[in-house]
Chains A and B, each alone.
Chain A
Amino acid sequence: MTSDTAPSGAAPRGSRRRWAPAPFLAPGMVVLSLFVAVPILLITSYAFFTRGRFGGVQFTFTLDNFARLADPLYLKVIATSVGIGLIVTLLALLLGYPTALVITRLPAKWRTIALVAVLLPFWTNFLIRTYAWILLLNNAGWINQGLQAVGIIDEPLTLLYTQPAVVVGLLYMYLPLMVLPLYSSLSAQDAQLAEAATNLGSSPWRVFRTVTFPLSIPGVLTGCVFVFVPAMGNFVIPELLGGGKTVLIGNLVRDQFLKARDWPFGAAIALVLTIMLLLLLFAQQRASRRVTEGPAERKVTTRA
C-alpha cells in the first residue's frame, strides 16, 4: 500500500486515503455500536438505577441492586451455579482430554472425521439436544428401560428433574467446546518432545505427566473457560431437565427481566456474571502466556 499513484486527480491524495476505509468499516461499526455497544452500556447503567413502580426503570442512582446479591437466597444461587459449573467443567475435562489426545494420534483422514463428529452435535439445535435427554432420562425412558431389562433395577430411577440431570444436560451441551481447544493445543505440540522423553526411558505415564500435559495447559485453561462460562449462564437446561428446581444465575436474570420485571436488579446480576467471565478470560490469557513464554524462553526473546 506504499505506492499510491492516485490516478484520478479529482481528490487530493490524503483525503482519498482517509475516506477509503469508510465503505468497508462504517456499516458494520454502526451496527455493532448501536446494537452491541449501546445495549451493553444500557445494561451497565440500568444496574445502578431503581426499579420503576410498574416495572421498567426509574433513573435514580442506587447501589442496592448489588447489595441485594448478598442476600443468602441469591448467594445460594451463585454458589449453586459455580458448583454445577465446576462439576460440569471437571467432567468435560475428564472426558474431553483423552478424546482430544486420541484424535491427535489418529491417522490424518480419521482425525478430520473424528473432529467433525465432535462438532456436529454442537451445530444441531440446542433445544432438540436437550429434549433428547428428556427421552433418555424419563421414568419410562431408554435408560430406565435398559436398566430394568438387564435386571439391575426393579423400579425406575428418578433421573429427570434432578440436579444430576442438569449436570448431564450442560455437559452434553458444552463438551465439544472442551475438546476443540484441547485438540488445537495438543496437535500443535511437537511430537518429537514426547518421543525424545520416551527414548530417554520415560514410561508413557511419566511422558504424559512431565511433557504432554504441561505443554497443553493453555488448551486446558481455554477449554475450562469455554465450558464453565456458558454453563453458568444457561437457563433453559435447568428448566427443562431440572424441572425448575435448580436455579442458576441465568434463570435468575431471565426471571428478573420477564417475570419480576425488575430490570435494574436483573441487569446487576447479568453484569456481575459478565465481569466474572471477563476476569476468568483475563486470568486464562495470563496463565496461558506464562506457560507458553516460560522464563527460559523469555530470556531468549529479550536477547534477540
Chain B
Amino acid sequence: MRNSRLIKLPFWLTYLFLYLPILVVVIMSFNASANLFVWRGFSLEWYPAVFADEAITTGLRNTLIVASLVTLLATALGTLLAVGIHRYTRGGLVRAFAIAPALLPDLLLAIGLLSLFSLLGVTLGLHSVVIAHVTFAMAFVTAIVLARLASLDPNLEEASQDLGAGAMRTFMKVTLPQLAPGIVAGALLSFTLSLDEFVMAFFTAAPTTPTLPIAIYSMVRFGVTPEVNALATMLLFVSVLTVIGAQRLTRVTDSL
C-alpha cells in the first residue's frame, strides 16, 4: 500500500527527533572551542582529555568491573534458568517471575534493594551494584534464551537422553551449543544494560565507588565540560556496536 504524504511527515519527524540530539553531541565532541555551543573548527583534543579526568576514569573503571561481573553472572544464571523453565515448568508463573525484573519500575527494585542491604547491614559498594544489575540483566538473558529455546527441535534433546546421556551431559553437549547465539546475544545485552544503567546504581553504589553514569549525572548537574561530548560519543559508539552485534546474533526485536 502506498504511503500518503500525510503519514510520511511524522515518519521523518520521528527520525529527525531521534537523531538530531545525538548528532549535536557527536559534532560538538570535535569542537576546537571549550564553549559547548559555538563551533570553532575541528579538533580531537577532548578525546584524550576524557582519560585525564579522574571522575571519568574512576567511574569508567568501576563500570567496567561491574559490567564484566554482571555479564558473567547474568548470562550463566539466566541461561540455566531459561533451560530449566523451558524443560521443567508448565505454567507461566516461574517464567513471569523470571521476566518480572525487566518490567517492574527500576525505582521500586532500587529502593527495595537499598532497604534490604540496609536491613542486613551490607555496606554499599561495587558488589551491591553488581547484585542490583544482575537481577534485571538476568531477566533479559532469560527472555532471549527462552525465545531461542522455543525455536529448537526438542527431538535432539530427547534423542540424547534416550541414548543414555544424563540431564547435565545433554545440556552441555546438545542444548548449549544450539543456544550459543542466544547466549552471546544475552551476554552482549547484559553488558550494555549494565554499562548504561543509572537508577539502580544511583541507589546501591557507595559515594566512593560511583559508576560512569553516576559520574556523568553529577557532571551534567554541576556544569558540563566539553569532555562529556567526547565521552558520550565513545559510549554511543560502544553501545551501538554491541547492540548491532546482539541484533545480528538473534532477532532481539522479536523476543522482547
Contact = CB atoms under 8 A, between A and B. Distances in A.
B4 A42 contact: no
Given A102-B3, A136-B24, A142-B24, A127 B216 contact: yes
Contact of A36 (B15, B101, B232, B236): B101
B7 A123 contact: no
Interface stretch (A77-85, A110-118, A291-299): A110-118
B168 A23 contact: yes
A164 interface: no
A236 B196 CA distance: 14
Contacts of B78: 28
B145 to A, nearest CB: 11
Nearest to A208: B7
Contacts of A270: 105, 107-108, 111
B105 A98 contact: no
Interface in B147-196: 158, 161-162, 164, 166-168, 171, 192, 195-196
Given A27-B80, A233-B105, A123 B24 contact: no
Contact of B11 (A46, A102, A266, A277): A102
Given A98-B10, A131-B232, A40 B18 contact: no
A134 interface: yes
B134 A127 contact: no
- From DSSP, what is the main secondary structure of chain A's interface residues? helix
Interface string B102-137: 001111110111111011000000000001101100
B85 A25 contact: yes
Nearest to B35: A140
Given A98-B10, A118-B14, A128 B114 contact: no
B105 A230 contact: yes
Question: DSSP majority for the B interface?
Answer: helix
A105 B2 CA distance: 8
Nearest to A8: B166
Interface in B17-36: 17-22, 24-25, 28, 36
27 contacts: A1-B161, A21-B87, A24-B84, A27-B80, A28-B77, A28-B80, A29-B81, A32-B97, A35-B113, A35-B131, A36-B97, A36-B109, A42-B115, A99-B11, A102-B11, A124-B235, A124-B236, A125-B213, A125-B216, A126-B196, A126-B198, A128-B236, A133-B21, A135-B28, A176-B18, A195-B1, A257-B114
